[in-house]
Amino acid sequence: MAPFQLTELTAFVAVAEHLSFTKAAAEVGIALPTMSQTIRSLEDRLGVRLFNRTTRSVAMTEAGVRLLAEVQPILQGIDHALESVNSFRDKPIGALRLAVSRPTAAILAPMVLPPLIQPFLAEYPAIHLEIHVDDTNNDIVSGRFDAGIRVGHKIERDMTILRIADEFRMLAVAAPSYLARHSRPSLPKDLHAHDCIQFRSPLDGSIHPWVFTQGDRHTEIAVEGSLIVNDLDMLLSTTLEGVGIGYLPEPIVARHLARGRLVTLLEGWSHTLPGVFLYHPSRRQTPMPLQVFLRFIEKWRKSALAAHRSRETGGQGRQPAQYPILVRQERLDEME
């Protein structure tokens, strides 16, 4: 019998763990047809069927269960041995590619990216970080990205996620120059009488309603206005110029509210989004550049929280981020 390839056994264990060829292919990083052919080749060489497959389900045979029990500990031992070698490196090296949607990048820019990226690159100069920002929700597997960053409710459920920014509010805001010409709305329904700057999502092309909650009250308003934009920076700048009322993430408008350049409308009415998350495929062997980036985020979190506690107790620690940063690994369905 010809010697077995490690890739065949790795593919077999992935399918056995997920009972899904699609998820296994995503974890291993190969195309679905390649995964199917790899398993067929392994079964042909063994002369036994390892999985019973239908169009809707995958189940292990008795032979598959036996092989998994024998092979899985061996592969885990190989992973551990290879990982232990990395401790002999002075500094991790390699490329780290992150995919970020443009709206998410606009939210991250004022509160996360500057204090995180500069010290990370200073500590790991041999890692080349690429941040790919565009107007789509990238498929990070097919796009060969190590991880992606999105607002939480936009993430596929089979990903491992890491929170990098807490939940935040969406606020209706206006410039003093706009309010000098128009009365202030008291209730969300009053927005129908105002010139509201609409936002067309660059991800799906839709114009979403403005959502407001107050206690257990919930309302969605299909606003109207003479201007539609598809970029958050443009939405912010036109709101600052008094063109109309804007509906924007609080992290983007916080400093303008503090300086009086914008005013919050509809006090007590807002809508909370679940926060910003880094997400990556669940796999046994995470690339080293991504591993150190995840560890660096954890260290950064502890520093930010220590500064936040120092400020609360009257200490003289450095100023924390605009919003306390919580970082933890979690499954998306545990968040909801």
CATH top-level class for 168-272?
A: alpha beta
Torsion of CA 139, 271, 258, 101, to 10 degrees: 10
Give 153's DSSP letter: G
Apex 171 CA angle, 186 and 167, nearest 5: 140
pLDDT of 329 > 50? The answer is no
Confirm if 215 and 221 have CB atoms less than 8 A apart: no
> CATH for 6-87, among 1.10.10.10, 3.40.640.10, 1.10.3720.10, 1.10.150.240?
1.10.10.10
**Cα–Cα distance for residue pair 134/231, rounded to 1 Å:** 11
Confidence at residue 306, expressed as pLDDT on a 0 to 100 scale: 65
Confidence at residue 327, expressed as pLDDT on a 0 to 100 scale: 36
pLDDT band at 104 (very low <50, low <70, confident <90, very high): confident
Domain(s) labelled CATH 3.40.190.10 in the chain stretch across 92-167+275-335
pTM above 0.95, yes or no: no
Amino acid at 294: L
Confirm if 172 and 266 have CB atoms less than 8 A apart: yes
Q: Is 47 exposed, middle or buried (0-12, 13-18, 19+ CB in 10 A)?
A: exposed
Q: What tens digit of pLDDT does each residue of 7-20 get?
A: 899 999 999 999 99
Q: What is the CATH number of domain 92-167+275-335?
A: 3.40.190.10
Q: Are strands 228-229 and 198-199 parallel, antiparallel or unpaired?
A: parallel
- Residue 105's nearest CA partner among 249, 290, 273 is 249
Biggest CA pair distance of the chain: 85
pLDDT of 88 > 90? The answer is no
**Cα–Cα distance for residue pair 6/81, rounded to 1 Å:** 15
Confirm if 98 and 147 have CB atoms less than 8 A apart: yes
Tokens at residue 141, please?
A: 């597997």
pLDDT band at 90 (very low <50, low <70, confident <90, very high): low
Confidence at residue 28, expressed as pLDDT on a 0 to 100 scale: 85
**Cα–Cα distance for residue pair 322/225, rounded to 1 Å:** 31
Give first-to-last CA distance, the chain, whole Å.
50
pLDDT of 188 > 90? The answer is yes
